[in-house]
Chain A
Amino acid sequence: MGSCTTRRSLLAGAARSVLAGSALWREARATEAPAAPVALAGCASYGAELLPTLTRMFDQIGGLGRIVKGKTVAVKVNLTGGPESRMGYLPIGLTTWTHPGVIAATIHLMGRAGARRIRLLESPWKSAEPLQEHMIGAGWDISLFTSAAPVVEFENTNFLGYGKSYVRFPVPRGGHLFPAYDLNHAYADCDALVSIGKLKEHLTAGITLSMKNCFGITPCTIYGDGAPQEEPGLVPLGGRFPIHTGSRQPPKSSLSEINPDSPREGGYRVPRCVADLVAARPIHLAIIDGVESQTTVETVSRNATYVKPHLLVAGTNAVCVDAVGAAVMGFDPMADRGSLPFERCDSTLRLAEELGVGTRDLTRIEVIGGRISDLVFDYRKAGGSRPATQRKG
């Protein structure tokens, strides 16, 4: 009995020191994570006020020239789900996708700032069709983009695309889920990466802003259902559910996950994958379109509510931008699993912070333009306080 008590006491002591070590480690990481100013602005519509608002915001964060001048700029947009889906009769850019006006305005301003080549990137779900076709499917006129700057290109990065091989991106500090990710060449053949996300909640990850937007840079020919066992598939045959569920490893040509015994749960895995990706493939400019959006979920759904937060967020550090984004949605960016919006998942913000990508601590982030307290739009109140339900698979 006595030895058992001793052992228990020893184990409890060890656990305490592990926890203490972990907390200290996290704190140290959080302290050293970089901070960068974030521009926050109200924007009443996607009409005439959009361009001047974005212009002012980019100036507030130091100007676009230093990020894009003379460079090839990759722009990852958020076009999740099928292009023909809508909430009611609303065009998808008002609810689920990055609005075409925000994309076009950003392209225009980057072109004006001297970007040499602008490449729009996205990995449409289960599809190898040209990205332009995916956009046309939503009723978009792609000349809106091609006429906005001298050289504008498109690439579907859900497969090999125009590349000859995939490019391996190791995750600094070893990574949370995978040690490295094999991605379409477009994420390597660029000088700067811009992520334009949407101000939305997410069933699995709690929120989907500029970082979660990068979950879609993973090619389904490697990380999707239906990927072959040995080599990447030629075309995507399924979605990214294996990343959600851990139901299978990528083909042998890519690296397997770090710990195959880790939880097979989307709320654990997806935030880690996103944090890994933004650490491995840094974002140079993060923009969140919150002019009009939807609550509750990330895709077209009857459970969502159409909302008009009238907000835009931009900055050069994606964690800082998403921390401000979470705050203006009415969430605490320092929250973690168990607290909204992360009721059933880990915080991508915290995990990215641990990888040294950026800080989520609002006391360390300079917010320029609007004040969070003035512009906050409570997503849970607008959506009827419905917490996101954990997706299975």
Chain B
Amino acid sequence: MPSDTLLPFRWPSEWTDPALLELIAGSPINCVLLEAPDADGAVAVAARKAGVAVLHWKSLSATPLAEVKWDTPAPQRVITGLVWPRIKMSAAGRSNDVQAGPTGAPWIDSNAWVAHLARVRGRGAPLWLSFEPDKDAPKPDTTAYNIAIADSAAAGARWIVTLDPQLRRGLMAGNGDAARTWRTLLGMLGFFEQHRKWSEWEPWGALGILSAFSGEYEFLGQEVLNLAARRNLHYRVLDRLVAPGTLPEALRAILYVDAVAPTPEWKAALDGFARRGGLLIVPRALAAQFPGGIPSPSALPGYSTRALGRGEVAVAARDWDDPYFLAQDAHSLVSRSRDPVRLFNAGSLWEHYSESADTKAAVLQLVGFSNRPYDSVSIATARPWRTASLYVPGGASVGLEPVRVDGRLEYHLPPFSYFAALEFGL
């Protein structure tokens, strides 16, 4: 089976009875990951007989992001050490006691940024994310599992399905509640498999975030990715450690995170990008690298801008140390007017926007981290699409008609929970 078709499930080690394979019969799960000691046991034999791929966990070279050997070919990249996607609760642990970020918005743990970075570094290899429920957090409910699946899938990765001990025990014992949770979980996995093409479409972004994302710039680079996603700033990852390829067409600005001079190749690419009309956002330390016209005050205090060809260079007046404010600055400099969509009443919804290669179709995937249903969500699109279809797990697709609001087109979404996707077409 080609690795890009595999949907992995971390088989619980206490499930020694091959009859439990019935749980995945006819489901989208087509690959079980066994711990090494059980690899050739009855489960493995029965799984292979049922046409299910069997892999040994230890053979996967699963490592935390920082330790992935990107130069070594692998059928799939397996990344560990990730977070369980959710709204972060405070240390006090009360269920209604939510941690807030600098803006007071709830803090959300998500692996989307890891997927975006790994997709670029992995150069198309399937991406499997490994995370499991926090041991000291409340037992995940059905919604929590669905959010875990959606957070990975919407970012173009697959979650290695990993069950909490209670669900494992419940399924093994044939418990009805556990079975219902399991069926819903399989339904969610199936939903994303049906729409696999969405993950093959290119993530869209007007902003390129350029960094080594490692070493001295691991924290700032990675956290900018994370916090850009948090404010629904759509970006493309640009890896400073590899030679620049063709820059994505939609890029209008590049944020050069690292206070390290670019390689000659990157210098030429960035220079050319600005001269053709792009905006370069650079740290104070690199001002001399991109000499342009006479500096003038930027619309954003804390930056000066100078013309460079048909474009501009925005130079920070202060050293960057806070990734939240850096993401916010970048969003202001590139402007929200570049956003492909604008959401209203979106609360803790995270956007994933991708376009088909011919740009004649696009999908907006909305991952909601709250247990509450999303009500009265409006979406304004920058492009005038001819068709819009709404997809929610477990439901039939619904065609949406645009509504004209203040001279622009908007779509008014019916209430939904934790995930919805809008596919647009011309």
Contacts and interface: CB of A to CB of B under 8 A. Distances in A.
Does more than half of chain B's interface fall in helix, strand or loop, or is it mixed?
Answer: mixed
B380 A139 contact: yes
20 contacts: A84-B344, A84-B345, A86-B345, A88-B376, A89-B376, A89-B403, A91-B405, A91-B406, A127-B103, A128-B328, A129-B328, A129-B332, A130-B300, A132-B335, A133-B332, A137-B342, A139-B406, A141-B406, A162-B297, A162-B301
Contacts of B15: none
A91 B332 CA distance: 22
A194 interface: no
A130 B343 CA distance: 19
Which DSSP category, helix, strand, loop or mixed, fits chain A's interface? loop
10 closest A-B pairs by beta carbon, nearest first, are A136-B336, A88-B376, A86-B344, A89-B412, A129-B332, A133-B332, A136-B337, A84-B344, A89-B378, A130-B299
Given A88-B376, A126-B103, 20 more contacts: A84-B344, A84-B346, A85-B345, A86-B344, A86-B345, A86-B378, A89-B376, A89-B378, A89-B410, A91-B405, A128-B328, A129-B331, A133-B331, A133-B335, A136-B335, A139-B406, A139-B408, A160-B301, A161-B301, A235-B325
Given A136-B335, A137-B342, A100 B406 contact: yes
Given A89-B412, A139-B342, A126 B104 contact: yes
Of A130, A161, A237, which is in contact with the most chain B CB atoms at under 10 Å from its CB?
A130
Interface in A183-231: none
Contacts of B346: 84
B36 to A, nearest CB: 49
B102 interface: yes
B2 interface: no
Interface in A87-138: 88-89, 91, 93, 100, 126-130, 132-133, 136-137
Given A133-B332, A160-B301, A235-B325, A86 B376 contact: yes
A139 to B, nearest CB: 5
Contacts of A159: 301
B343 A84 contact: yes
B407 interface: yes
Interface string B305-337: 000000000000000000001001001100111
Interface residues of A, number: 28
A127 B300 CA distance: 12
Contacts of A129: 300, 328, 331-332
Contacts of B102: 237
Interface in B260-317: 297, 299-301
A139 B301 contact: no
Contacts of B335: 132-133, 136
Nearest to B298: A130
Most chain B beta-carbon neighbours within 10 Å: one of A89, A130, A162, A238: A89
A72 B279 CA distance: 31
A160 B318 CA distance: 15
A73 to B, nearest CB: 20
Interface string B382-406: 0000000000000000000001011
Contacts of A161: 301
Given A136-B337, A162-B297, A85 B103 contact: no
B46 to A, nearest CB: 51
Nearest to A136: B336
Contacts of A160: 301
Contact of B405 (A126, A132, A139, A237): A139
Contact of B336 (A89, A91, A137, A238): A137
Interface in A51-96: 84-86, 88-89, 91, 93
A235 B103 CA distance: 11
B84 to A, nearest CB: 26
A84 B297 CA distance: 28
Contacts of B331: 129, 133
Contacts of A84: 342-346
A265 B242 CA distance: 59
Interface in B206-227: none
Contact of B407 (A89, A141, A238): A141
Nearest to A128: B301
A130 B297 CA distance: 13
